[in-house]
């Protein structure tokens, strides 16, 4: 077959989110540092291969840095508060003796290799989760997802849009106001700082929010076009209950300590209820999408690769639990489990499946 040039286009944001949620789910199942680093590498590779040139695409480095900070904070806290478990003592910190009432809490003292490693593994897992979600943010425009907010959640939609638009502008007005403050001359006095800076910024933000909300209103956002108030309330309640159900269900599914009933059943109930809500709000179409992102074969592939990675890690957890959570007592080198490692590598697929991102016209 003759090679066919693929048209560049933006992938459906939902596909990227499903893929990154899959990667995050996979990462949440393991504390094996080799697997976690592999996951980060896979995610970073896909991001570098498929990110666009839009403003939100430039933030991946920031997520990596935040990840490192998380690991660092985790290790430091562990050293200071709970560093003693384990036989391999690295060094000792001066210990502060606490009164009887605070028995069980220790500050300072011996710091063991086991403690530090446990903190490192744990921090690494948290950082990987964050980086996976950050990747979705970098690959897909967060605002495009907002467009899918059903009209039943009109007020919520306005609030979120206003917040998302006004928040970056806050930075701008903060810069303007702090600069203007010099013009009044009293930079030195700390007591006025709060009032001088915060009051003008907040009034500015309030003004902008009102203007934006008014503009959205006059441009027809949330038109009901004859839908009765009661039916809007019904869909609103359905949607919110459904979303809560999905959140609780996901939490139950990911956290192994919660009762089984909170997991899958709750998730299923949530999905069903939200689907009802969506159907109710969509029963009369009141909005259309301009150049909508289509859900085509590459989207299916990208989403599927995420789901498969998560599934493989679930499978591996029951087949080979030992290697997914390497033992610290006794201390042992972590090894890369074959099945799980192969599973994570499947997450690379989007770098091939996804079409190249649409090029931004040069200004």
Partner 1 sequence: MIHFDHVTVTYPDADAPTIRDVNLRIPEGELCLVTGHTGVGKSTLLGTINGLVPHFTGGHLQGVVRVDGRDTSTHPPRELADVVGVVSQDPLAGFVTDTVEEELAYGMEQLAIAPEVMRKRVEETLDLLGIAELRSRSLRTLSGGQQQRVAVGSVLTCHPRVLVLDEPTSALDPTAAEDVLAAVTRLVHDLGVTVIIAEHRLERVAQYADRAIHIHRDGTVVDGSPAEILEWSPVAPPVVRLGRIAGWSPVPLSVRDARRLAAPLRERLAGLDAAVAPVSAPAAPGDAAASNAAPAAVEASSVSVHYGKVTAVREIDLRLASGEIVALMGRNGSGKSSLMWALQGSGPRSGGTVMVTGADGVRVDPGSLSAGDARRHVGLVPQTPADLLYLATVAAECAQADRDATQPPGSCAALLARLVGEVDHATHPRDLSEGQRLALVLAIQLTATPATMLLDEPTRGLDYDAKAHLAEVLRELAAEGRAIMVSTHDVEFVATVANRVVVMAQGEIVADGPTAEVVVSSPTFAPQVAKVLAPQRWLTVDQVAAALAATVGP
Nearest residue to 123 (alpha-carbon basis) of 36, 5, 61, 235: 36
Q: Which of 1, 103, 297, 361 binds partner 1 (CB under 8 A)?
A: 361
Segment near partner 1 (CB under 8 A), from 82-90, 244-252, 263-271, 287-295? Answer: 287-295
Q: Which residue, 4 or 219, is less far from partner 1 as judged by CB?
A: 219
| CB 51, min distance to partner 1, A | 16
Residue 205 to residue 185: CA distance in whole angstroms: 24
Quote the CA–CA distance of 73 and 123 in Å, as a whole number: 8
Taking contact as CB under 8 A, which single stretch among the options 78-86, 130-138, 196-204, 301-309 is the one that binds partner 1? Answer: 196-204
Rounded Cα gap, residues 177 and 163, in angstroms = 20
Minimal distance in Å, beta carbon 200 to partner 1?
A: 5
Segment lying near partner 1 (by CB under 8 A), choices 111-119, 187-195, 262-270, 324-332: 187-195
Nearer to partner 1, 81 or 221 (CB): 221
Residues 102-141 that bind partner 1 (CB under 8 A): 141
52, 341 contact by CB (below 8 A): no
Q: Which two tokens stand for residue 350?
A: 């989007």
Contacts with partner 1 in 54-93 (CB under 8 A)? 54-55
Residue 196 found at the interface with partner 1 (CB under 8 A)? yes
- The CA-CA-CA angle for residues 133, 137, 139, to 5°, reads 110
Binding to partner 1 (CB under 8 A) within 210-269 occurs at: 211-225
Residue among 7, 191, 290, 297 that touches partner 1 (CB under 8 A): 290
Cα–Cα distance list, 190 to 180, 196, 198 (Å): 16, 10, 13
Q: Helix (H, G, I), strand (E, B), or coil: what is residue 321?
A: helix
Buried b (16+ CB within 10 A) or exposed e, 188-223: eeeeeeeebeeebbeebbeebbeebbeebeeeeebe
Q: Does 163 bind partner 1 (CB under 8 A)?
A: no
Give the up-direction half-sphere exposure of residue 10: CA atoms within 13 A in the CB hemisphere: 20
Query: To the nearest whole angstrom, how small is the minimum distance from the Cβ of residue 207 to partner 1?
Result: 8
Q: Which is nearer to partner 1, 62 or 214 (CB)?
A: 214
Which residue is associated with the tokens 């959140």? 247
- Token output for 240: 């919110």
Give the binding-site size for partner 1 (rule: CB under 8 A): 54
Query: Considering the complex, what minimum distance in angstroms separates the CB of residue 114 from partner 1?
Result: 48
Cβ-based nearer residue to partner 1, 53 or 255: 53
Which is closer to partner 1, CB of 103 or CB of 183? Answer: 183
Q: To 10 degrees, the CA torsion angle through 296, 301, 302, 306? A: 140
Q: At how many degrees (to 10) do helices 33-50 and 113-139 cross?
A: 20
Task: Compute the distance between CA of residue 224 and CA of residue 221 in angstroms, rounded to an integer.
Answer: 9
Binding status of residue 9 toward partner 1 by CB under 8 A: no
Contact 56, 340 (CB under 8 A): no
Tell whether residue 203 is a contact of partner 1 (CB under 8 A): yes
Closer to partner 1 by Cβ: residue 114 or 293: 293
Given the rule CB under 8 A, which of 79-87, 107-115, 281-289, 336-344 is the region that contacts partner 1? Answer: 281-289
- Tokens 């500050």 correspond to 107
When binding is defined by CB under 8 A, the residue of 186, 255, 320, 322 that contacts partner 1 is: 186
Please give the residue ranges that form the binding site for partner 1 (CB under 8 A).
54-55, 141, 143, 147, 161, 165, 176-177, 179-188, 192, 195-196, 199-200, 203-204, 207-208, 211-225, 285-292, 360-361, 363
């Amino acid at each position: 077959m003759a090679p066919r040039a693929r048209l560049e286009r933006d992938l459906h944001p939902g596909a990227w989110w499903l893929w990154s949620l899959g990667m995050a789910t996979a990462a949440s199942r393991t504390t094996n540092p080799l697997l976690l680093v592999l996951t980060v590498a896979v995610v970073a590779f896909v991001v570098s291969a498929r990110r666009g040139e839009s403003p939100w695409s430039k933030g991946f480095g920031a997520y990596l840095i935040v990840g490192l900070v998380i690991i660092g904070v985790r290790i430091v806290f562990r050293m200071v508060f709970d560093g003693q478990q384990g036989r391999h003592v690295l060094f000792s910190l001066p210990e502060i003796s606490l009164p009887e009432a605070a028995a069980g809490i220790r500050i300072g003292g011996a710091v063991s290799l086991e403690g530090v490693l446990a903190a490192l593994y744990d921090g690494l897992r948290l950082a990987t989760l964050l980086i996976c979600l950050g990747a979705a943010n970098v690959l897909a425009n967060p605002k495009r997802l907002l467009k899918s907010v059903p009209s039943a959640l009109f007020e919520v939609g306005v609030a979120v849009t206003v917040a998302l638009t006004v928040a970056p502008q806050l930075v701008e007005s903060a810069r303007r106001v702090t600069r203007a403050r010099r013009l009044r001359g009293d930079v030195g006095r700390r007591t006025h700082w709060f009032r001088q800076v915060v009051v003008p910024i907040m009034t500015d933000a309030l003004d902008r929010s009102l203007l934006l909300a008014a503009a959205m209103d006059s441009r027809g956002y949330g038109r009901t076009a004859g839908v009765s108030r009661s039916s809007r309330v019904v869909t609103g309640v359905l949607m919110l209950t459904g979303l809560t159900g999905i959140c609780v269900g996901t939490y139950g599914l990911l956290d192994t300590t919660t009762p089984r009933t909170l997991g899958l059943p709750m998730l299923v109930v949530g999905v069903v209820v939200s689907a009802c809500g969506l159907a109710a709000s969509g029963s009369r179409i009141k909005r259309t999408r301009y150049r909508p992102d289509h859900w085509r074969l590459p989207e299916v592939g990208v989403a599927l690769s995420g789901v498969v990675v998560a599934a493989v890690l679930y499978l591996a957890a029951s087949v080979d639990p030992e290697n997914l959570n390497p033992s610290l007592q006794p201390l042992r080198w972590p090894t890369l489990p074959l099945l799980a490692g192969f599973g994570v590598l499947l997450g690379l697929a989007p770098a091939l499946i996804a079409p190249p991102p649409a090029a931004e016209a040069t200004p």
